[in-house]
C-alpha cells in the first residue's frame, strides 16, 4: 500500500456531500451506523447531512436536512432506535414527492445517499436513483434548478445498509438490529423459564417475524424450546399429534416446563395462520397442561443495542462511505452486508429480488425453495433445530461408539450449550456419551460419568462450566489418561475450551507416539473470552464478555458525562490478545485501546493525552481508554500488553498530564467478564459447533475402525473446529502450529486487527485508512452458495 493510496482515503470526499437517513421500522444499531457514516464522511473531507424522519424529511426539506458535525453524533452509539427519526412516507411513493426530494438534494449539492432500512426502503432508494436524470430534467424545465446545478448533480450514488430486526433480507447473514432483538427475547425467555418451572407450566411465546422466522428459529435453538412455528417451514399435517406427543415426552423425562416459540407469521401447509392462542387451546384441550401465552411485541425493537450490532453498524457505516465515494455513474446501487465476518457489497436489486422470491415461494407453497433462498446459515439453524427437537434418541445402544466430552481452560459463557448439543446429538446418533469433570485432570483421575438426555436439560442458558474446567495440560498424566481411555472404552474426545484445549490437543498428538490408547479422534471447540485460539475467528464466550464490558463502559460513560472533564481507564481481560479491548473500544466508543499486538511508546501515550486535552475543549467533555491485561501469568513471566506500561502507569501519566484539564479514574473489570448468562450469539454458536463436532466425530470413528478397535493416527484425526471468514472448518491441530505464537498464546494473524484504524478514525485521530481490504461488489448467487456459519 503506497503512501499516496493511504492518503487518498483522507481526501476521497473533498468537494462531495453525503446524506444519511433511516427509514421504515427502527432497529437497534442504526445509530452506530449513522455515527460511523458521519465521522468517516467528515474524515474523508466530505460534508455530511442528517435527513430527519426518513424519506418524509427528504421530501419536506428545510430543517429536516441538517449538516452534521463530529460532536453531533457523540453519545448516540449506545442508544436504541434511531436518533434522526424514521417515518413511513406515502409522499415518496409518488413521483411528485420524489421530485421534491431531488430538488432538496440538488440545492444542497448532495449526490450521495446512504439509506438505512428494510427492503421497502431500499427499493424506494433504487427507484429514486433510476429516475434521477428524468427528475433533474423536469426540475430544469420548470426553472427550479440551474443548468450548472444539474451538471454538478448529474448522477446519484446510493448505498443501502439493512436495518431490520427480522433478519429478513437475503444477501446478508445478519441485519442491523437482529442480534439486539434476540437479546431482548432471550432476557424474557430466561425470566419466563424460572416461573414456568415453579408451576410446571407450558409457555407459548410469540415473537416478531411476519414473513421471516429467523428470530423464532434462533430463539428456539438458544433456549432449547420444544417446538418452533415459522412461516418458511410449516409443520406436517398431523402436527397437533406430534406436538402433544413431544410435550408429554419432555415431561416424562423429568422436565417441569415446556416452551413453544411462534413467529407472528406462522402458517400451516395450506397457508392458514397458526396463532399462539390456537396452540394454547390445543395444549389445554388435549393435555390439560397449565398453559400461558406471552406476546413480546415492540419490546423486541427497544433497548440498547448489543455489542455485535454496534460493531456491525460501525463497520457497515465505514464501508458505506467508501462505497459511495468510490461510486461512478455505472456502479449499480449496492447494499453493504455481512458474510461470515466479512463485509461484502452486493447489488441492491439482486438482494431485493431474492427477498421477494422467498415471499413468492411461500405464497406458492414452495416451502423447500423458500428455505433454500434464505441461505445456508438459516438452513443450518433449521437442520440443528430439527435434530435436537424432533428426533428421538434410539433406545438400544447396540453397535454404538463411546464419546467423551470435557471442558478445558478458564470458564466461558456458552460452554454448557456446547456440551448440551454435543451430548444430545451423540445420543441421537445412538452413541454412548460420557462427560468428564475438571478437564484433563478429571480424565486422569477417572472423574467420568455417563450422560443421558435429561442430564444436560436447561443447560443452554447457564453461564460458566457445569462440568468444571481446569487449565491442567495432559502431558504429565498420559499414563493415567491412557488407562482411563481403556477402562471407559473412550473412542473419541470432544474438548471444549480455550488456548489450553488447543495446546492439550497438540500434546495428545505428540503422546500418540508413546501411547496407542491416545490414537482416538478428538476435536477442539474454541471456548474462551479471550478469543485467542488459532484456527478460529470467533470463540464461544467472547461475545458474552464483550457485552459485559460494553454494559459497564456505558454506565461509566454516563457517569463521566454527568461529572464532565473526566477520563476513565478500563482494564479488560485477554492475556496478550487484544480482541476484547479492541472490539469493546469499537462498541463503546473509546478514545484509545492499548493492546500487545500494536506496540506503543511513551510518545504514543503523550499523543493520546494531548488528543484528550483537545477533546475537553469541545462539547464532549469525557474520555474512555481501554487497556488489555493478562489475567493469568505463567511462572516467571508477566503477561501484560506492555510490561512497563501497566494500567497504573497509564493512569498516573494521564492523571499528571491532565492536571487542571481533566480527572482520571481507573476501573479493572476482572472476572465479571467470565461470568453471566451467555448471549444469544454464544448459545447459538455453541449449539451449532457442538452439533457439527459430533457429526464429524461419528464419521471419524467409523473411518478409524480397524480390526475391531479404533486406531486414529493421521493428522486430520485431531482437529480444531473453527469459523474462518465465511465457513465452519475442521483444521488439524498439527497444521495450526506454524500459525501460533506460543510464547504469547495468540494466533500469528488475527483478522480483527484490520478494524483498529476504524476505532481510531471514529475517535478523531488523523491516521491513514488502508482501503486495500475494502469489499468489492459480488453477486448474491455466489454468496448464497458459500456456507455462512452463524
pLDDT above 50 for 784: no
Position with higher pLDDT, 414 vs 337: 414
Question: What are the helix and strand counts (H, E) for the chain?
Answer: 26, 26
Q: Which pLDDT does position 642 carry in this prediction?
A: 59
pLDDT digits (tens, 9 = 90+) for 66-90: 999 999 998 899 999 999 999 888 9
Q: Is the pLDDT of residue 586 over 90?
A: yes
pLDDT at 641 over 80: no
Q: How confident is the model at residue 334 (pLDDT cuts 50, 70, 90)?
A: very high
Task: Check residue 781 and give its pLDDT.
Answer: 54
The average confidence (pLDDT) of the chain is 90
The alpha carbon of 548 is separated from its chain's Cα centroid by a whole number of angstroms, namely: 14
Q: Cα-Cα-Cα-Cα dihedral of 452, 453, 454, 456, to 10°?
A: 90
Average pLDDT over residues 259-288: 95
Rounded average pLDDT over 509-514: 96
The confidence score (pLDDT) of residue 708 equals 78
Per-residue confidence (pLDDT) for residue 400, from 0 to 100: 82
Q: Is residue 194's pLDDT more than 80? A: yes
According to DSSP H, which parts of 402-447 are helical? 415-428, 439-445
Residues with Cβ < 8 Å from 607, sequence gap 6 or more? none
Mean pLDDT of the region 234-261: 91
Contact 18, 41 (CB under 8 A): yes
How far is it, in rounded angstroms, from Cα 506 to Cα 517? Answer: 15
Instruction: Give me the mean pLDDT over the 298-327 stretch.
Output: 94
Question: CA 549 to CA 571: how far, in whole Å?
Answer: 10
Q: What is the pLDDT of residues 315-327, one digit of tens each?
A: 999 999 999 999 9
Q: What is the pLDDT of residue 577?
A: 93
Instruction: Say yes or no to pLDDT of 475 above 90.
Output: yes
| 169 touches 346 (CB < 8 A) | no
- What pLDDT sits at residue 773? 54
**What pLDDT does 768 receive?**
64
Whether the predicted pLDDT of 636 surpasses 70: no
20 pLDDT band (50/70/90 cuts)? very high
- Bridge pairing between strands 492-497 and 65-67: unpaired
Residue 108: CB atoms within 10 Å: 16
State the DSSP code for 81: S
The whole-angstrom separation of Cα 582 and Cα 584 is: 6
**Nearby residues of 198 by Cβ (< 8 Å), 6 or more positions away:** none
Active site residues: 166
CB atoms within 10 A of CB 79: 17
* 291-295/202-207 β-pairing: parallel
Q: For residue 244, what is its C-alpha cell?
A: 402433544
State the pLDDT at residue 35. Answer: 97
Reading the block at residue 237, the C-alpha cell is 399435517
- For residue 574, pLDDT beyond 60: yes
Average pLDDT over residues 504-528: 97
Confidence of residue 370 (pLDDT cuts 50, 70, 90): very high
Closest CA to 57 of 17, 24, 16, 85: 85
Kindly state the percentage of the chain with pLDDT values over 90: 68
Q: What is the pLDDT of residue 790?
A: 44
Q: Taking 60 as the threshold, does the pLDDT of residue 408 lie above it? A: yes
The yes-or-no verdict on residue 631 having pLDDT over 50 is no
Query: Virtual CA dihedral for 713, 715, 716, 720, nearest 10 degrees?
Result: 120
Residue 632: per-residue pLDDT: 32
CA–CA gap between residue 454 and residue 420 (Å, rounded): 10
Of 349 and 776, more confident: 349
Q: What was the pLDDT predicted at 397?
A: 64
Distance CA 668, CA 266 (A): 47
Q: Which of the residue ranges 114-118, 214-218, 407-411, 649-653 would you say has the lowest mean pLDDT?
A: 649-653
pLDDT of residue 1: 38
CB 457 within 8 A of CB 253: yes
Q: What is the pLDDT of residues 605-626, one digit of tens each?
A: 888 888 888 888 887 777 788 7
Q: Are 770 and 318 in contact (CB under 8 A)?
A: no
Q: What are phi and psi of 763, to 5 degrees?
A: -95, 10
Residues contacting 194, CB < 8 A, separation 6+: none
Average pLDDT score over residue span 655-668: 89
- Calculate helix-pair angle for 376-390, 214-223, nearest 10 degrees: 40
User: Does pLDDT of 7 surpass 90?
Assistant: no
C-beta separation of 430 from 465 below 8 A: no
Among 109-113, 188-192, 201-205, 560-564, name the one with the lowest average pLDDT: 560-564
pLDDT at res. 129 = 94
CA–CA separation, 34 vs 316, rounded Å?
A: 10
Per the structure block, which three cell numbers stand in for 1? 500500500
Amino acid 782: pLDDT: 39
Report the range of poorest mean pLDDT among 224-238, 560-574, 585-599. Answer: 560-574
Amino acid 672: pLDDT = 86
The dihedral built from the CA positions of residue 695, 700, 703 and 708, taken in this order, carries a sign that is negative
DSSP β-bridge partners for residue 626: 570, 593
Cell 427475547 maps to which residue? 185
Give CA–CA dist 764/611, Å, rounded.
9
Reported as a pLDDT band with limits 50, 70 and 90, residue 195 is confident
Distance CA 625, CA 592 (A): 5
Per-residue pLDDT at 751 exceeds 70: yes
Cell numbers placing 33: 451506523
Amino acid at each position: 500500500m503506497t503512501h499516496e493510496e493511504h492518503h487518498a482515503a483522507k481526501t476521497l470526499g473533498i468537494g462531495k456531500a453525503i446524506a444519511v437517513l433511516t427509514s421504515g421500522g427502527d432497529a437497534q444499531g442504526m445509530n452506530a451506523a449513522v455515527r460511523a457514516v458521519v465521522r468517516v464522511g467528515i474524515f474523508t473531507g466530505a460534508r455530511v447531512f442528517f435527513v430527519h424522519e426518513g424519506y418524509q424529511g427528504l421530501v419536506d426539506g428545510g430543517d429536516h436536512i441538517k449538516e452534521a458535525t463530529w460532536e453531533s453524533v457523540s453519545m448516540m452509539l449506545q442508544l436504541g432506535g434511531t436518533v434522526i427519526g424514521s417515518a413511513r412516507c406515502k409522499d415518496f411513493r409518488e413521483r411528485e414527492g420524489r421530485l421534491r426530494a431531488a430538488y432538496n438534494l440538488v440545492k444542497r449539492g448532495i449526490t450521495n445517499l446512504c439509506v438505512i432500512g428494510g427492503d421497502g426502503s431500499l427499493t424506494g432508494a433504487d427507484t429514486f436513483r433510476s429516475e434521477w436524470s428524468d427528475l433533474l430534467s423536469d426540475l430544469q424545465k420548470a426553472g427550479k434548478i440551474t443548468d450548472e446545478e444539474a451538471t454538478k448533480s448529474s448522477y446519484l450514488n446510493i448505498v443501502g445498509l439493512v436495518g431490520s430486526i427480522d433478519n429478513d433480507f437475503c444477501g446478508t447473514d445478519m441485519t442491523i438490529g437482529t442480534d439486539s432483538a434476540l437479546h431482548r427475547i432471550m432476557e424474557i425467555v430466561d425470566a419466563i423459564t424460572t416461573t414456568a418451572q415453579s408451576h410446571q407450566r407450558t409457555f407459548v411465546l410469540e415473537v416478531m417475524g411476519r414473513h421471516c422466522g429467523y428470530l423464532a428459529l434462533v430463539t428456539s435453538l438458544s433456549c432449547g424450546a420444544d417446538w418452533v412455528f415459522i412461516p418458511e417451514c410449516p409443520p406436517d399435517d398431523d402436527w397437533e399429534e406430534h406436538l402433544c406427543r413431544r410435550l408429554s415426552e419432555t415431561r416424562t423425562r423429568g422436565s417441569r416446563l415446556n416452551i413453544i416459540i411462534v413467529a407472528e407469521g406462522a402458517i400451516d401447509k395450506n397457508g392458514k395462520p397458526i396463532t399462539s392462542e390456537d396452540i394454547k387451546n390445543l395444549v389445554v384441550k388435549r393435555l390439560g397442561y397449565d398453559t400461558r401465552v406471552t406476546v413480546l411485541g415492540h419490546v423486541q425493537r427497544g433497548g440498547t443495542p448489543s455489542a455485535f450490532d454496534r460493531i456491525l453498524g460501525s463497520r457497515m457505516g465505514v464501508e458505506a462511505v467508501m462505497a459511495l465515494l468510490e461510486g461512478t455513474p455505472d456502479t449499480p446501487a449496492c447494499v453493504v452486508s455481512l458474510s461470515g465476518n466479512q463485509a461484502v457489497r452486493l447489488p441492491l436489486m439482486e438482494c431485493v429480488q431474492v427477498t421477494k422470491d422467498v415471499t413468492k415461494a411461500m405464497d406458492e407453497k414452495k416451502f423447500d425453495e423458500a428455505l433454500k433462498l434464505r441461505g445456508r446459515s438459516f438452513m443450518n439453524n433449521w437442520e440443528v433445530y430439527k435434530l435436537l427437537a424432533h428426533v428421538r434418541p434410539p433406545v438400544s445402544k447396540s453397535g454404538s461408539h463411546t464419546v467423551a466430552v470435557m471442558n478445558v481452560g478458564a470458564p466461558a459463557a456458552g460452554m454448557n450449550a456446547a456440551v448440551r448439543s454435543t451430548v444430545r446429538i451423540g445420543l441421537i446418533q445412538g452413541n454412548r456419551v460420557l462427560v468428564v469433570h475438571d478437564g484433563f485432570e478429571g480424565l486422569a483421575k477417572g472423574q467420568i460419568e455417563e450422560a443421558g438426555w435429561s442430564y444436560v436439560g436447561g443447560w443452554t442458558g447457564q453461564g460458566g462450566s457445569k462440568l468444571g474446567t481446569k487449565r491442567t495440560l495432559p502431558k504429565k498424566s498420559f499414563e493415567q489418561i491412557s488407562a482411563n481411555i481403556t477402562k471407559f472404552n473412550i473412542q473419541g474426545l470432544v474438548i471444549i475450551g480455550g488456548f489450553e484445549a488447543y495446546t492439550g490437543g497438540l500434546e495428545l498428538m505428540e503422546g500418540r507416539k508413546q501411547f496407542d490408547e491416545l490414537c482416538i479422534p478428538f476435536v477442539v471447540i474454541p471456548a474462551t473470552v479471550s478469543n485467542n485460539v488459532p484456527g478460529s475467528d470467533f470463540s464461544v464466550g467472547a461475545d458474552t464478555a464483550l457485552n459485559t464490558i460494553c454494559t459497564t463502559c456505558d454506565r461509566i460513560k454516563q457517569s463521566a458525562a454527568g461529572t464532565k472533564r473526566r477520563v476513565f481507564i478500563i482494564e479488560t481481560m485477554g492475556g496478550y490478545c487484544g480482541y476484547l479491548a479492541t472490539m469493546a473500544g469499537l462498541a463503546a466508543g473509546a478514545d484509545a485501546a492499548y493492546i500487545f499486538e500494536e506496540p506503543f511508546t511513551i510518545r504514543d501515550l503523550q499523543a493520546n493525552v494531548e488528543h484528550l486535552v483537545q477533546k475537553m475543549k469541545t462539547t464532549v467533555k469525557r474520555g474512555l481508554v481501554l487497556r488489555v491485561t493478562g489475567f493469568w501469568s505463567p511462572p516467571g513471566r508477566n503477561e501484560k500488553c506492555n510490561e512497563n506500561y501497566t494500567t497504573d502507569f497509564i493512569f498516573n501519566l494521564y492523571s499528571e498530564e491532565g492536571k487542571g484539564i481533566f480527572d482520571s479514574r481507573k476501573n479493572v473489570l476482572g472476572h465479571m467478564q467470565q461470568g453471566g448468562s451467555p448471549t444469544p450469539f454464544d448459545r447459538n454458536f455453541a449449539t451449532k459447533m457442538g452439533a457439527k463436532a459430533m457429526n464429524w466425530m461419528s464419521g471419524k470413528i467409523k473411518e478409524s475402525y480397524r480390526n475391531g478397535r479404533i486406531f486414529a493416527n493421521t493428522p486430520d484425526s485431531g482437529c480444531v473446529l473453527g469459523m474462518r471468514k465465511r465457513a465452519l472448518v475442521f483444521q488439524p491441530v498439527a497444521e495450526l502450529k506454524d500459525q501460533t505464537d506460543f510464547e504469547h498464546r495468540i494466533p500469528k494473524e488475527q483478522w480483527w486487527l484490520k478494524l483498529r484504524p476504524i476505532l481510531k478514525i471514529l475517535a478523531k485521530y488523523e491516521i491513514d485508512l488502508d482501503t486495500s481490504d475494502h469489499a468489492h461488489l459480488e453477486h448474491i448467487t455466489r454468496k448464497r452458495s458459500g456456507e455462512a456459519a452463524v
